[in-house]
Amino acid sequence: MNHAETVNTLDPRPRRNSLMAGWRDHPRALLIAAAIGVLIGAGVIFLLRTLADTGDEPPIRVKNGSLELHLVTNKNATWTSTGSHWKTSGTRVHDVLQLTVATRGKANCSAYTVAANLLVIHYADPTGNEVMKVEIQSAGNHSKVVPSQPMSVSASDSTVLAYGSAGFIKSIEADGTAMCTFSAASQLDHLIILDF
């Protein structure tokens, strides 16, 4: 007998090198390995979908001067009135808003990027007296805009929701906490609201 070959004299079955042989010899180990593989694959797919999927609702850009909420999109997104509030076409993946503020001049901000459930924009007339507020929240995977005064969709662009009176954004709150305050329209460049 050649010493390079070892024969197991206790196991009379011939040695097989196939998956079926492994299945017959170790069915539990193969089932456990298959289950672990399926769980790992499902976890990877879930993670990729969670990180990559941002829904089809476009970002909202709030510009200063006249209060305008722009849907930033190349899709066919529009604002829709439900009577008491406005909402966007499309859906959000999460019911959390990610807010980013771009300022100029002497704006007073405690944060420039924040995740929040409720955004409140306080709008003032040119003399600085507050004339309205707009609440923006994600409800039921849609952005919901509730103004204290009437707003309307631009006749020339259905992606723009506006309050027509002159003035400026005086302050922005995120979940009841002051995020930024402004004393002039020139201090706020824009606010972007994204699906978080």
The DSSP result for 98-147, as a single string, is: EEEEEE-SS-EES-SEEEESEEEEEEE-TTS-EEEEEEEEEETTEEEEEE
| 143 contacts 78 by C-beta, under 8 angstroms | no
Q: Are strands 188-195 and 97-103 parallel, antiparallel or unpaired?
A: antiparallel
Per-residue pLDDT at 170? 92
Q: For the residues 8-18, what does the mean pLDDT come to?
A: 57
Q: What is the pTM of this model?
A: 0.68
Whether residue 53 is predicted with pLDDT greater than 50 in this model: the reply is no
18-50 per-position pLDDT tens digit = 666 666 777 777 677 677 766 676 655 555 444
CA-CA distance, 39 to 102, in Å (whole number)? 43
Where does the pLDDT of residue 112 fall: very low under 50, low under 70, confident under 90, or very high at 90 and above?
A: confident
134-175 per-position pLDDT tens digit = 998 877 777 889 999 998 888 888 888 888 788 899 999 999
Whether residue 129 is predicted with pLDDT greater than 60 in this model: the reply is yes
Where does the pLDDT of residue 181 fall: very low under 50, low under 70, confident under 90, or very high at 90 and above?
A: very high
Per-residue pLDDT at 51? 42
CA-CA distance, 19 to 156, in Å (whole number)? 67
